[in-house]
Amino acid sequence: MINQHYRELQDSYLFSTIARKVSAFQSSADLRQKPLIRMGIGDVTHPLCPAVVAAMKEAVEEMGRKETFRGYGPEQGYDFLRDAVRQYYAGRGVLLNAEELFISDGAKSDVGNILDLFEPNLTVCIPDPVYPVYVDTNTMDGRSIVYLDANEENGFLPLPDQRVKAGLIYLCSPNNPTGAVYSRDQLKQWVDYANGCGAVILFDAAYEAFIHDSALPRSIFEIEGARTCAVEFCSLSKTAGFTGTRCGYTVVPDELEREGLSINRMWLRRQTTKFNGVSYVVQRGAEAVFTPEGQRQTSETIAYYRENARIMAQALAAMGVSFTGGAHSPYIWLKCPDGLDSWSYFDRLLREAHVVGTPGVGFGRNGEGFFRLTAFGTREDTEEAMRRMQNC
Ligand code: MLT
């Protein structure tokens, strides 16, 4: 009667486990002198920018007037937002048709929901370590997973293994959790491999806004050949502080077909059946992110988080801790000091420094002995966390 594959899942989702542990610690420890600093889940601390707030307020007013009220919207998003996102891509030389863009409530949902389109007996290639949603959603469907080892030797950027016949491939760049970013040449290898074996790449670009080197690709569609083998997921969560507001977008190119079926038409069919779209007010807010004013304001916030990452990198280097990430990503991926395993370091940092991070092993077997810190905190918390880590 029930889906037996749920038995194969870990007891709870990584960030729920951490939240539970932290709340148990909070109720047992004295935090008055040293309040807790959260650098675990990649949740932002800066509020929505003024351009977004103004647009959402106006949209609320519209919804409260008979003449401008709107009911159900198009499941795939309003044209005004799809056009704004298309312009954003066009700015980087990526030309998309309107029907290739689907507005979503964030990358996480679509990354999981896209699996409705694929049969359960496909081989899925998933980097290890990586965002746990890819593994969990495929485990729920009972797919067999081939792990792509990401480690210090390959700079946490695994490349195709020609011996594996992949059906689906997950790539996340800039990577969550390691902060590693694929180069154009490396992504081209993946695109050629996928086109060669008929696989579909599910490309998670949620952290693209943190790339500050024009030589690095921010979208897989900057790579020739990607339109016949890739779907891209992106989100405004980390770009514009939408973690609590919820809005993202998914690009499914017209040319992407498998077994005579258009993946784009299948996704449209799936979305119109199972999803009623993102609210009008939120879509107006999202549209404002792509205005010149919104772009200026959101890039100021990203610069603030990048400065946090720089401060963290500097402090860790001074402590002699080895790490990657932070340059084109809000995440710093560090090697646990004193040979500790990930959870022991989590416990120690929580107990001694009252700092919450994410144990690397929560992102996969290869994450054992590593630890992830986010740069999404306030400046004060970031500096204080580094001081406490230095002290302990
Ligand atoms: C993370 O901390 O890995 C992310 O915030 C999770 C997410 O984006 O869902």
What's the pLDDT tens digit per position in 300-356? Answer: 999 999 999 999 999 999 999 999 999 999 999 999 999 999 999 999 999 999 999
Output the CA 131–ligand 1 centroid distance in Å: 7
d(CA 36, CA 151): 31
pLDDT given for residue 255 in this prediction: 98
Q: Whose CA is nearest to atom 9 of ligand 1?
A: 108
DSSP state of 100: G
Distances (CA, A) of 72 to 62, 64, 101, 115, 282: 14, 15, 18, 25, 14
pLDDT given for residue 293 in this prediction: 98
Q: Tell which atom from ligand 1 comes closest to the C-alpha of 176.
A: 3
β-strands 248-251, 230-235: how paired?
antiparallel
Q: Which of 267, 182, 284 is nearest to 233 (CA)?
A: 267
Q: How many CB atoms lie within 10 A of CB 41?
A: 17
Q: Whose CA is nearest to atom 4 of ligand 1?
A: 42
Helix (H, G, I), strand (E, B) or coil at 200: strand
The ranges of the chain with pLDDT < 50 are none
pTM value is 0.96
The amino acid at residue 390 is: Q
Output the CA 108–ligand 1 centroid distance in Å: 8
Contacts of 6 (CB under 8 A, 6+ apart): 140
Q: Tell which atom from ligand 1 comes closest to the C-alpha of 133.
A: 9
Residue holding tokens 């081209």?
188
Structure tokens at 347: 């416990």
Contact 150, 178 (CB under 8 A): yes
Q: Check if 325 has its Cβ closer than 6 Å to any atom of ligand 1.
A: no
pLDDT given for residue 13 in this prediction: 86
Q: How many residues does the chain have?
A: 392
pLDDT given for residue 12 in this prediction: 81
The model's pLDDT over 252-303, given as tens digits with 9 standing for 90+, comes to: 999 999 999 999 999 999 999 999 999 999 999 999 999 999 999 999 999 9
Which of 131, 134, 207, 370 has most ligand 1 atoms within 8 Å of its beta carbon, as the pocket-test mutant? 131
Q: Check if 218 has its Cβ closer than 6 Å to any atom of ligand 1.
A: no
d(CA 46, CA 122): 41
Burial of 362 (0-12, 13-18, 19+ CB in 10 A): buried
* Maximum separation of any 2 CA atoms in the chain, in Å: 66
Q: Check if 108 has its Cβ closer than 6 Å to any atom of ligand 1.
A: yes
Q: How many CB atoms lie within 10 A of CB 253?
A: 20
Q: Whose CA is nearest to atom 6 of ligand 1?
A: 42
Output the CA 193–ligand 1 centroid distance in Å: 28
Structure tokens at 96: 């998309």
Q: Check if 41 has its Cβ closer than 6 Å to any atom of ligand 1.
A: yes
